[in-house]
């Protein structure tokens, strides 16, 4: 792409702040004066006020502000403050003073790390005209330093007195901010970074309109026009493919430029210092400086109340089913880890490599993900992080907007009034004391074998799966560790996202039931106080052990008194689950039932009922009095007229 250049976008950067630092006498102030005035006066002040270059000084038209600094001890705090505000640091040494070069590695570069200044560094050798030893090249001097300090973006020598490479110093500094190397290229391995490769692969697929795995001459030209507003001449296209073929034969086929060749070209541009080329391409396709799609492209437009949730639309689900089939290369009805990695190879990274998604769905014996498991993970991600879900849909090739991909559910308060829920995805909070069997319940839900050894859950954990009812409903279980219950309930809106609360206790342990009962009362009280009341179910786990009679009797009595269903006995060890997951779905679908009522809540309700009745009697009495008064006035008027 010989014409692969042009004015590039500066993405989110509207101004670049450069801070010039270095030892005294290395030429900092003269360097700034030279770029500002094209000359240096005989008398130079010690520190200049902040300087701003004209907006059109460089091709990117991004304004540059240059901050001069003093390295004296009394100004050390101010220097540290300025360095922390910098977009890039211009670090100077004097070519005629070798000791100032040594100070870069003994003080300045370690100091930047100590201050946690994580921005590009441009090392500038000033006073080039005064250097005596001309035999040693800049590359020889700086190569070992750059190996040790990877934050150095580039090195350059200049002379303010003779106006040698003065504008170039600040051009490279501005370019390091507007078109940074770090996100694109690994200097150590001399290769494109994984996230850059993934973004370019997605761009290649988008531009490969006939889906034949190559960019034809016409597709290559369309790509050039989209990114650089200028077509490629036929001779230029031939030239581009020739360059690629000479270096990498698999980069070109008889149909056009392959993905391998496309990636090679970008690596070549970066190696030659033409980072603006790759950045222009990335930004034309919506990427920011972290090589993720810009927030405005993946924002979820609708506002939601605390008790509303977000689900995938049928359109998005059908798209995901198609993607699943496309990447299930062996046709076994499951995505193996390698197939899943390939599926997400156009996203910045796989969104499911870490918790809460990593182990949240049922897998096959060899670690494959069925279609139900695949869609369940998407439902979980959409529930927890709608914008992340939308972004990954787009990375996979979805072309719709948030309105076509995501739907906002009805408020849970309204569901209770209407006595039914229209949700397709329900979230169930699983409460219970330590060793009650919460984790075992989640593992059973995901088809995992019972574990004899106990492993405590220290953080909230999720399990998502499809439950076959009249239709296909996704249930998400959220395990709440015992020590996180109080912090959770400290928030007024803590239960707003909950469709059903389940309280698991060890039926062979009286203390386990007492603790579960306390949690039930706390949750019920929170719901009554906040208005986010939720259906509650009690699960008596470990039915394979000898039950504690008192606990059974008390749990039945508590259910009766609070107006909820009797405890559901299960044994995860014996795989006897008593249709517990279907019962959870039934409770969620009829959210006006199974809502526990505490004594305090019942008293408040009775009081409100009494007040309302009193107000009603007062209203009726007032109405009778008004009617009586009107009748009296009619009677009095008639009597007056007859007399």
Q: Hey, what are 199's tokens? A: 């973004």
- Compare 284 and 602 and report the one with higher pLDDT: 284
Predicted pLDDT of residue 125? 95
CA distances from 214 to 191, 330, 396 (A): 22, 24, 18
CATH assignment of 16-178, given 3.90.1750.10, 3.40.50.300, 3.40.50.720, 3.40.50.2000? 3.40.50.300
Overall average pLDDT of the 316-335 stretch: 96
Overall average pLDDT of the 542-554 stretch: 89
Q: Whole-angstrom Cα distance, residue 524 to residue 490? A: 13
**In the β-sheet with 51-53, what is the strand arrangement from edge to edge?**
51-53, 64-68, 16-22, 88-94, 121-126, 152-157
231 pLDDT higher than 60: yes
Domain ranges of the chain: 16-178, 191-293, 304-409, 419-597, 601-635
- Compare 452 and 496 and report the one with higher pLDDT: 496
Q: Sign of the CA dihedral 279, 282, 285, 286?
A: negative
The answer to whether 543 touches 507, Cβ cutoff 8 Å, is: yes
Instruction: Count CB-CB contacts under 10 A for residue 391.
Output: 22
Predicted pLDDT of residue 602? 76
Equal CATH topology for 16-178 and 191-293: no
Paired with 191 in beta bridges are: 186
Closest CA to 201 of 103, 128, 291: 291
Give first-to-last CA distance, the chain, whole Å: 113
139 pLDDT higher than 90: no
- Compare 72 and 604 and report the one with higher pLDDT: 72
Predicted pLDDT of residue 107? 96
Percentage of residues of the chain with pLDDT beyond 90: 76
Overall average pLDDT of the 590-613 stretch: 75
Overall average pLDDT of the 558-587 stretch: 95
Predicted pLDDT of residue 457? 85
Q: Whole-angstrom Cα distance, residue 31 to residue 124? A: 10
394 pLDDT higher than 90: yes
| Superfamily of 419-597 according to CATH | P-loop containing nucleotide triphosphate hydrolases (3.40.50.300)
Each residue's pLDDT tens digit, 398-453: 998 888 999 999 999 999 999 999 999 999 999 999 999 999 999 999 999 998 88
Longest CA–CA span in the chain (Å) reads: 135
Overall average pLDDT of the 538-551 stretch: 91
State the DSSP H helix or E strand holding residue 501, giving kind and residue range, or none if neither: strand 500-506
Q: Hey, what are 490's tokens? A: 């400290």
pTM of the model: 0.84
Q: Whole-angstrom Cα distance, residue 543 to residue 537? A: 16
200 pLDDT higher than 70: yes
Give the up-direction half-sphere exposure of residue 295: CA atoms within 13 A in the CB hemisphere: 1
List the single range of 31-45, 163-177, 286-300, 355-369 with lowest mean pLDDT: 31-45
By the 10 Å C-beta count (0-12 exposed, 13-18 middle, 19+ buried), 104 is classed as buried
296 pLDDT higher than 70: yes
Instruction: Indicate the pairing of strand 121-126 with strand 152-157.
Output: parallel
Overall average pLDDT of the 613-617 stretch: 57
Predicted pLDDT of residue 630? 57
Predicted pLDDT of residue 511? 95
Predicted pLDDT of residue 242? 94
Angle at 37 between CA 35 and CA 39, to 5 degrees: 90
61 pLDDT higher than 80: yes
| Superfamily of 191-293 according to CATH | EF-hand (1.10.238.10)
Q: Whole-angstrom Cα distance, residue 215 to residue 258? A: 6
Angle at 612 between CA 608 and CA 614, to 5 degrees: 115
Predicted pLDDT of residue 6? 35
Predicted pLDDT of residue 60? 83
CATH number at 304-409:
1.10.238.10
Give residue for tokens 């990375």: 395
Predicted pLDDT of residue 4? 35
Overall average pLDDT of the 225-251 stretch: 93
Q: What is the DSSP string of 331-357?
A: -SSEE-HHHHHHHTTTSSS-TTSSTTT
601 pLDDT higher than 50: yes
10 pLDDT higher than 50: no
Burial 145-180 (b: 16+ CB within 10 A, else e): ebeebeebbbbbbbbbbeeebbeebbbbbbbbbbbb
Average pLDDT score, the chain:
90
Each residue's pLDDT tens digit, 455-485: 888 889 999 999 987 678 999 999 999 999 9
List the single range of 29-38, 132-141, 322-331 with lowest mean pLDDT: 132-141
Residue 17 DSSP class: E
516 pLDDT tier (thresholds 50, 70, 90): very high
7 pLDDT higher than 70: no
Q: Whole-angstrom Cα distance, residue 433 to residue 256? A: 63
621 pLDDT higher than 70: no
Q: Sign of the CA dihedral 421, 427, 431, 435?
A: positive
């Amino acid at each position: 792409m010989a014409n692969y250049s042009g004015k590039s976008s500066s993405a989110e950067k509207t101004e670049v702040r450069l801070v010039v630092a270095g030892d005294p006498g290395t030429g900092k102030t003269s360097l700034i004066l030279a770029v500002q005035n094209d000359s240096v006066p005989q008398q130079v002040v010690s520190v200049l006020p902040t300087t701003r270059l004209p907006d059109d000084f460089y091709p990117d038209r991004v304004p540059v502000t240059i901050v001069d600094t003093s390295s004296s001890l009394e100004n050390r705090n101010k220097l540290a403050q300025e360095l922390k505000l910098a977009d890039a640091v211009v670090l100077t040494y004097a070519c005629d003073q070798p000791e100032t070069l040594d100070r870069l590695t003994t003080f300045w570069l370690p100091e930047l790390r100590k201050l946690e200044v994580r921005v590009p560094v441009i090392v500038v050798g000033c006073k080039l005209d005064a250097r005596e030893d001309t035999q040693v090249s800049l590359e020889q001097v700086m190569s070992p330093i750059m190996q040790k300090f990877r934050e150095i973006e580039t090195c350059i020598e200049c002379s303010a007195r003779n106006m040698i490479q003065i504008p170039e110093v600040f051009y490279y500094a501005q370019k390091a901010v507007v078109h940074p190397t770090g996100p694109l290229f690994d200097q150590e391995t001399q290769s494109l970074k994984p996230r850059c490769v993934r973004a370019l692969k997605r761009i290649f697929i988008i531009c490969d309109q006939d889906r034949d795995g190559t960019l034809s001459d016409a597709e290559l030209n369309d790509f050039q026009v989209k990114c650089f507003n200028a077509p490629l001449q036929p001779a230029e296209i031939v030239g581009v493919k020739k360059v690629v073929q000479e270096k990498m034969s698999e980069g070109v086929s008889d149909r056009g430029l392959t993905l391998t060749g496309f990636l090679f070209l970008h690596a070549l541009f970066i190696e030659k210092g033409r980072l603006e080329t790759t950045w222009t391409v990335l930004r034309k396709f919506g990427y920011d400086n972290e090589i993720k799609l810009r927030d405005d492209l993946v924002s979820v437009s609708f506002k939601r109340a605390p008790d509303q949730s977000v689900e995938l639309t049928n359109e998005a689900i059908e798209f995901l089913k198609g993607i699943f089939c496309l990447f299930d290369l062996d046709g076994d009805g499951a995505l193996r880890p390698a197939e899943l990695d390939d599926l997400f190879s156009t996203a910045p990274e796989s969104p499911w490599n870490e918790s809460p998604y990593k182990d949240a769905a049922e897998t096959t014996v060899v670690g494959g993900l069925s279609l139900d498991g695949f869609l369940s993970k998407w439902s979980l991600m959409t529930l927890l992080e709608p914008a992340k879900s939308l972004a990954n849909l787009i990375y996979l090739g979805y072309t719709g907007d948030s309105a076509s991909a995501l739907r906002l559910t009805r408020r849970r308060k309204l569901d209770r009034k209407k006595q039914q829920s229209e949700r397709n995805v329900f979230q169930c909070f699983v409460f219970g004391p330590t060793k009650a069997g919460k984790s075992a319940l989640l593992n059973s839900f995901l088809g995992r074998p019972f574990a004899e050894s106990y492993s405590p859950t220290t953080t909230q954990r999720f399990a998502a799966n499809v439950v076959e009812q009249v239709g296909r409903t996704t249930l998400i279980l959220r395990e709440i560790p015992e020590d996180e219950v109080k912090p959770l309930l400290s928030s007024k809106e803590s239960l707003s996202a909950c469709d059903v609360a389940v309280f698991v206790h060890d039926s062979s342990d009286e203390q386990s039931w007492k603790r579960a009962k306390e949690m039930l009362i706390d949750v019920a009280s929170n719901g009554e106080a906040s208005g986010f009341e939720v259906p509650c179910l009690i699960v008596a786990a470990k039915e394979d052990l000898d039950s504690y009679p008192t606990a059974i009797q008390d749990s039945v009595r508590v259910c009766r008194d609070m107006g909820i269903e009797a405890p559901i006995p299960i044994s995860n060890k014996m795989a006897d689950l008593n249709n517990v997951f279907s019962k959870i779905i039934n409770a969620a679908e009829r959210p006006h039932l199974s809502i526990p009522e505490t004594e305090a809540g019942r008293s408040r309700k009775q009081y409100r009922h009494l007040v309302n009745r009193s107000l009603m009697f007062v209203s009726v009495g007032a109405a009778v009095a008004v009617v009586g008064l009107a009748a009296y006035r009619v009677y009095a008027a008639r009597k007056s007229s007859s007399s």
